[in-house]
Amino acid sequence: MHIFKVEGMHCEMCVKRIEAAFEAEKMHAFINLKEKTVAVESETDAPTVMELLEDLGFEPTMIQ
């Protein structure tokens, strides 16, 4: 399980954007707006997820 802290997540709209982007890449993510975290399965390529979140305009840092 990889968990990323995502700065810049603000509202439900941001969550929807992340969901849409992940779905397009056929990846599944658990998004927590209150904690501002995004968690993915361990099999998922961490750098790819970072790239995706950066493309979305957020500032992700890997916590785990």
Partner 1 sequence: MKEELFRIEGMHCAACSAAVEKAVRREAGVSDCSVNLITEKMRVSFDEGVTSSARIAARVRRAGFTAILMTEAREKAAPPKAPSLWQVHGRLILSLALSLLLLYLSMGHMLLRAPLPAFLAPATSPLVYAYTQMVLALLVMGLGFSRYKSGITAALRLAPNMDTLVALGSLASFIYSFVLTLLLPKDPSLVMGLYYESAAIVVALVSLGKALEERGKKKTAGAIRALAALLPDTARVVREDGLLEELPLSALQVGDTLLVRTGERIPADARVLSGEGGVDESMLTGESLPVHKAEGDAAVAGAVLVSGSLTLSVERLGEDTTLSSIIRFVEDAQEKKPPIARAADKIAGVFVPAVLLIALLAGVLWLILGKGVGFALRIFTSVLVIACPCAMGLATPTAVAVGTGLGAKHGILIRSGEALETACRVDTAVFDKTGTLTQGRPAVHRFLLREDAEAQREALLARAAAAEETSTHPLSLAIKALAAQDGAPAHPLPQRVTSFGGKGLLAEWEEGSSLLLGNERLLSEQGVSLPDSLAEAARAEAEEGAALVYLAEKGAALGVFAIRDPLKPDAKEAVARLQGAGISVHLLSGDSRPAAACAAKELGITDFCAEVLPEEKTFYIKGLQNQNKCVIMVGDGVNDAPSLASADVGCALGGGTDIAMQSADIVLLNESLFGVCEALTLSKLTVRNIRQNLFWAFFYNALCIPVAAGALYPLGFLLSPMVGAAAMCFSSLFVLSNALSLGRRRLSSR
Number of residues that bind partner 1 (CB under 8 A): 16
Tell me the DSSP string of 15-58.
HHHHHHHHHHTT--EEEETTTTEEEE-TTS-HHHHHHHHHHTT-
Closer residue to partner 1 in complex, CB, 10/28? 10
Contact 2, 39 (CB under 8 A): yes
Residue 9 touching partner 1 (CB under 8 A): yes
Closest CB 33 distance from partner 1, rounded Å: 11
The residues that touch partner 1, with contacts defined as CB under 8 A, are: 8-11, 13-14, 16-17, 20-21, 54-59
